[in-house]
């Protein structure tokens, strides 16, 4: 498996994002979803990583939006927000998400990011457990988010080696 930064506007990546959206549509109403579209993911200051299998097929993806990249009116210095983490269901449990997270953490740290934040939902206990396993702790709402019963906010200091000790980029 390889993980590297790639542009998000590729057919296989669009398929991953569509699968993520379809999955989240079954869990949350539209007003409780804060997804970025492909055009936002392609902006400068957004790091987008893709995990690929031995045959080159896209297995999973994720992004870090560095401070001010998508909403320049809200710069927060050395922070980033984890977005669009998704692994194909058949590939879950094989370390794909951990490798994507490690790559994103390493790339974000190389660009001066010292904190990662995320918003997920309580109907995704596996995601919450994954993030906790990788050093994220629950916190209050941040940025433009408001406290909401369908939101779980988490934060992690980037002070050492990325998740799993990997530095794939």
Beta strands in the chain (DSSP E): 2-5, 46-52, 58-66, 79-87, 115-120, 137-139, 152-157
CATH topology (fold) of 2-165:
Aminopeptidase (3.40.630)
Q: What integer pLDDT is reported at residue 160 of this predicted model?
A: 65
- 61-99 confidence digits (pLDDT tens): 999 999 855 444 444 558 999 999 999 999 999 999 999
Please state the pTM of the whole predicted model.
Answer: 0.88
Domain boundaries, the chain: 2-165
């Amino acid at each position: 498996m390889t993980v590297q930064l790639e542009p998000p506007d590729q057919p296989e990546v669009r398929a991953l994002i569509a699968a993520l959206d379809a999955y989240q549509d079954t869990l949350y109403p539209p007003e409780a979803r804060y997804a970025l579209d492909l055009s936002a993911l392609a902006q400068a200051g957004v790091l987008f990583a893709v995990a690929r299998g031995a045959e080159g097929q896209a297995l999973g993806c994720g992004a870090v939006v560095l401070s001010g990249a998508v909403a320049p009116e809200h710069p927060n210095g050395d922070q980033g927000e984890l977005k669009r983490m998704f692994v194909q269901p058949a590939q879950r449990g094989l370390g794909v998400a951990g490798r994507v997270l490690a790559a994103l953490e390493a790339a974000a740290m190389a660009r001066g990011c010292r904190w990662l934040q995320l918003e997920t939902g309580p109907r995704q206990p596996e995601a919450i457990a994954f993030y906790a396993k990788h050093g994220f702790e629950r916190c209050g709402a941040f940025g433009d988010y408001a406290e909401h019963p369908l939101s779980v906010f988490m934060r992690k200091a980037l002070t050492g080696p990325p998740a799993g000790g990997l530095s794939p980029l």
